[in-house]
Structure 1
Amino acid sequence: MAMPTALDLSVDAAALTAQLVDVPSVSLAEKPLADLVEGALRAIPHLRVDRDGDAVVARTGLARAERVVLAGHLDTVPIAGNLPSRLDADGLLWGCGTTDMKAGVAVQLRLAATLPAPNRDLTFVFYDAEEIAAEHNGLGRLVDRHPDWLAGDFAVLLEPTAGRVDGGCQGTLRVRVQTSGRRAHSARSWLGDNAIHKAAPILARLAAYRPRRVEIDGLVYPEGLNAVLIEGGHAGNVIPDTCAVTVNYRFSPDQSEAEALDRVREVFDGFEVVLTDSAPGALPGLSHPAAAAFLDAIGTPPAAKEAWTDVARFSALGIPAVNYGPGDPTLAHTREENVAVAAVLDAEDKLRRWLTA
């Protein structure tokens, strides 16, 4: 497969998506694509371009009253025999990253190239390693090292949302709920104390838990508390002396991480609860004037984001943020990943009208 040696930003966003997809960029191997993105942006005279690792940031400097940040990640999950891209007769572009999220990145690049005088100042963020552990996340690195590069009044993360606006995001945390017992030979089980058996009340409490549905700014965020892993046991003839149930709590953005952890500890009162990882949610931010104008331009009712996304990183900086992008999110990470050309062009058109009206 011959990869592009340069990006042609004069084509429409769907054709540009195909160019991006044909440059493999699995997490931690984004450099070739980041190089192409940086080169294309540096050729645009109305932008200032900065780079940190494989994250590229481009900004206008028009002294507008408001600045909007448009962000998207360059990396994909591992390729599943779905490169190079192909366009079928039904107007579907197939290939790894078409939906998640090179279509959104293509829209960003088209706007960067063709809006020299938008009605708001614009910051375009292209970052690395979103699809893997948070410690590698390029946007997180920019927040730590260069928060000034990300300054703005409103942000749009162009993750796939099937063309609707998803406000804010859930928070997420994981804990290990642990039990202990006494190890023994299974032939003399009465000499031991089975730690796996003692995990039964943990599962019972999970089964009995009724998750909240929390309304914020007219959007309803459903919570979830679920066992995602059980570990315990040593061998087929040993009574286990340890067991741990890993529980994932997806919580509404009206709670802080500390409040969410307190709620989980209440559910498992009497058990040892160890926090293993946590990330805050993000409030919808739809009351901001820029958000209202954005919703008018998109023209569809907003919904709550039923997942965690990097909008939380903008929210932590005090920047209201929403998710909006072309592509069906249920196709992300699948071998059958594809995006409709019409959806990509529609997203480009709606964002352009918002930024020029």
Structure 2
Amino acid sequence: MTLNLAADPIALTAALVDIPSVSRDEAAIAGAVEAALRAQTTGFEVLRHGNCVLARTDRGLPQRVLLAGHLDTVPIADNVPSRRETRASAATGDETRASAATGDETRASAATGDVEEVLYGCGTVDMKSGDAVFLHLAATLAEPAYDLTLIFYDCEEIEARFNGLGAIERELPEWLAADVAILGEPSGGLIEAGCQGTLRVRVTAGGTRAHSARSWLGDNAIHRLGKVLAVLAAYRARTVDIDGCEYREGLSAVRVEGGVAGNVVPDEAFVDVNFRFAPDRSVDQALQHVRETLAPVFDGDPLLSLELTDSVAGALPGLAAPAAARLVDAAGGRFRAKYGWTDVSRFAARGIPAVNYGPGDPNLAHKRDEHVPVAQITEVTDTLRRFLSAEPA
């Protein structure tokens, strides 16, 4: 498919959605994006790296803005190709969907103005609408106030070891230099600053196996986990304000496993615990907090052990950085904390302020009825156009 980058970014979003690009199968969409950038933009150096497409200008401007978005989606769920419909506005609480061509409810809502146009399809939210905005601006900004870097990468939706942005970080780190980075992650048209860190630990309990008819001869490993679960149930999470962004932490059991058979007292069981922590903690500090929280459980019990199984640092908001502050101003001062983890963490680790900013409700990502209000695509495009066209201080 040939992409028209100068077209309305709503139409460009639909065109991107109509190119299936489930993780590990991004060659077609990467090829289309690469061809469009080479043919329809001026002043950009364009590079293909696997199924990542990179482009940058070198106009000698005093500051650089990096725009990054992933090209892959989760598996398609009968939601490609895209479709555009008019529906009763979600703001009214009426979620009834009706075709733009038919439907009394749509006409009734139109009389009161409570309608909105919506684009449905896999990736409309996560995150082909954000990609479309970036591509459109690259082709239509005549005199940007910043040098621009665009990175469209693969394999974000699967294991971190496959992440295309991680590969660029390892193999082409010079492409990540910027004064501010914007990831087109869905954020409801609000700036979501920074991100929380996450770690997982596994608490394993030992015991003694026995026939359940003679349970007193055994030591039940599952029962031993009860005191761990009690501590987690009673845990009161911290809320912290950083640069006006409120982050809410959470310590949760996310998996419990144990048992041998229906008539056996088990001699081993485990619980996986996930800690989502505010970005003012390092991974080491977060792990220490988990250990301290669970310390009373482990005291004097040699049959309990704790192992760190996964961790990744968060990212501070960085909104005080000049370029980030100008972006907030362009967005009308609207921003909030990002609770989940995103690739902004990679930039924060390099000392680059980074935010999530894109169309779409993140709660709709990966759903069968994934959809984005088309007005939100227009709004994000207009905001970024104002930001990228403004003279930096």
TM over 0.5, shorter chain: yes
In structure 2, the residue matched to 1:267 is 293
Counterpart of 2:363?
330
Q: Distance in 2 between matches of 1:39 and 1:116?
A: 20
Match of 2:347 among 314, 335, 340: 314
SS of 1:229's equivalent in the other structure is: strand
Q: List per-residue Cα deviations over 1:206-242 (Å, max 9, x = no partner).
A: 0111111011111111000000000111111111111
Q: How far apart are 1:116 and its partner, in Å? A: 4.2
C-alpha distance in structure 1 between counterparts of 2:121 and 2:337, whole Å? 28
Once the two structures are TM-superposed, the CA of residue 185 in structure 1 deviates from its matched residue by 1.5
Identity %: 59
Q: Deviations over 1:290-313 (max 9, x none)?
A: 011101111142111111111001
Which of 5, 12, 15 is residue 8 of structure 2 equivalent to? 12
Greater mean deviation of Cα atoms: 81-90 or 26-35: 81-90
**Alpha carbons 1:62, 1:121 under 8 Å: kept:** yes
Question: 2:247 and 2:27 mapped to 1: Cα distance?
Answer: 37
Deviation at 1:21, TM superposition (A): 0.2
Q: Is the 8 A contact 2:42 2:139 kept in 1?
A: no
Q: CA deviation at 1:184?
A: 1.3
* Residue aligned with 1:268, SS: helix
Match of 2:206? 180
SS class of match (1:58): strand
Q: Flag as ranges the 4+ runs of structure 1 deviating above 3 A.
A: none
Q: How does 1:56-95 map to 2 (within 5 A)?
A: 56-88=53-85, 89=100, 90-95=116-121
Aligned match of 2:112: none
1:283 and 2:316 correspond: yes
The 3-state SS of whatever aligns with 1:281 is coil
Alignment of 1:248-263 (within 5 A): 248-263=274-289
User: Which residue does the alignment assign to 2:146?
Assistant: 120
Choose from 246, 257, 263 the match for 2:272: 246
Q: SS at the partner of 1:211?
A: coil
Corresponding residue for residue 129 of structure 2: 103
1:33 aligns with 2:59: no
Q: SS of the residue aligned with 1:196?
A: helix
Could you say which residue in structure 1 is the equivalent of 2:377? 344
Give yes or no for contact 1:164–1:300 (8 Å, CA) kept in 2: no
More moved, 228-237 vs 37-46 = 37-46
For the residue of structure 1 that corresponds to 2:221, the secondary structure is coil
Q: Give the Cα–Cα distance (whole angstroms) in 2 for the partners of residues 316 and 38 of structure 1.
A: 28
In the superposition, the TM-score normalised over structure 2's length comes to 0.88
Equivalent residues of 1:46, 1:116 under 8 A apart: no
Amino acid at match of 2:58: G
Residue 225 of structure 2 aligns to a residue whose secondary structure is helix
Alpha-carbon distance between aligned partners in 2 of 1:204 and 1:162, rounded to the nearest angstrom = 36
Judge conservation of contact 1:169–1:309 (CA < 8 Å) in 2.
yes
One-letter amino acid matched to 1:91: E
Computing the radius of gyration from Cα coordinates, the structure with the larger value is 2
Aligned ranges 1:183-198 → 2 under 5 Å: 183-198=209-224
The aligned residue for residue 93 of structure 2 is: none
Q: Alpha-carbon deviation of 1:51?
A: 2.1
Give the match for residue 54 of structure 1.
51
Gapped regions of structure 2 (runs ≥ 5): 86-99, 101-115, 299-303
Structure 1: unaligned runs, 5 residues or longer? none
Distance (Å, rounded) in 2 between the aligned partners of 1:33 and 1:141:
18
- Equivalent position SS for 1:119: coil
RMSD in angstroms over aligned alpha carbons? 1.0
Q: Does residue 355 of the first structure (1) align with residue 355 of the second (2)?
A: no
Q: Deviations over 1:259-288 (max 9, x none)?
A: 101111111221411111111000000000
Q: CA deviation at 1:186?
A: 1.4
1:181 and 1:242 in contact (8 A); partners too: yes
- SS of 2:161's partner is helix
Q: Which residue of 2 aligns with 1:24?
A: 20
Q: Give the match's secondary structure for 2:132.
A: helix
The question of 1:42 aligning with 2:41 is answered: no
In 2: Cα distance, 1:347 partner to 1:301 partner: 12
Partners of 2:184 and 2:42 lie apart in 1 by 24
Distance (Å, rounded) in 2 between the aligned partners of 1:197 and 1:355: 59
Cα distance between partner residues in 1 of 2:337 and 2:379: 21
8 Å Cα contact 2:208/2:221 also seen in 1: yes
**CA–CA separation in structure 2 for the residues paired with 1:276 and 1:35:** 37
- In structure 2, how many angstroms separate the alpha carbons of the residues matched to 1:68 and 1:120? 6
Pair 1:228 & 2:225 matched: no
